[in-house]
Amino acid sequence: MLTFIQLTILMISVVLHEIAHGYVAFKNGDPTAMQLGRLSLNPIVHIDLLGTVLLPGLCVVSGSPFFIGWAKPVPVNTRYFSNPIKQMMWVALAGPLTNISIAVVASVVLSLLIGLNVGSTVYITHGLLYYALLYFIQINLVLAVFNLIPIPPLDGSRVIMNYLPQKAQHYMQRMEPYGFAIVFGLAYFGVLDVLFRIVLPPLYRLFIPGV
């Protein structure tokens, strides 16, 4: 049951992440995602074989304490942008900022429920509601940190691209076809677990009441 809850929350979170990308691209003049129906809440249009099925499955099989993944990336046509590098940075940041916002909302709700002792102490501290809110916090923080890794096409690469010299930008762009293979390799060999064990505990203490 808890694994099902985790996978459901992961799906919700990555879909909202991608919709945020498409919406900010639309606000910057690119209608591509909207025209292709990628601003929809329907999870089917966002499923990616590697990021939505295989990588979360690897997390389950390997016993990883961290659930990571992604939805099918929304298409963005930078030809609609007047300043492609800078506007692409804002499009990229929209995803992780959405995940952080979800974690903030879940943290506030969890704090209020615990503070008000809603339902009973046993239900709040051990029931499904508690775990659902906890997973919303944890999974969205993992997604934010994961997507800010500066490996193309992850969002972190779009952010640092704005601050790199042109030659380095070109190098990053050439890496992009191999980016997901690199990320999958890092996950398989446990490198991402090491990163998360360093970065996430301070964030958990900030967002999760009583940690």
**Active site amino acids:** 18
DSSP 8-state class, residue 178: G
What is the distance between the alpha carbons of residues 173 and 175, in angstroms, rounded to a whole number? 5
Q: Which two tokens stand for residue 29?
A: 């003049």
Number of helical (H) and strand (E) elements in the chain, helices listed first: 10, 0
Exposed (0-12), middle (13-18) or buried (19+): which is 154, by Cβ within 10 Å? buried
Cis ω for the linkage preceding 75 (within 30 of 0): no
Find out whether 196 and 66 touch, Cβ atoms under 8 Å.
yes
* Residue 175 neighbours by CB under 8 Å, 6+ apart: 151, 152, 157, 182
How far apart CA 70 and CA 102 sit, in angstroms, is 16
Q: Is the dihedral of CA 153, 155, 159, 162 positive or negative?
A: positive
Decide: 25 and 31 in contact? Cβ < 8 Å.
no
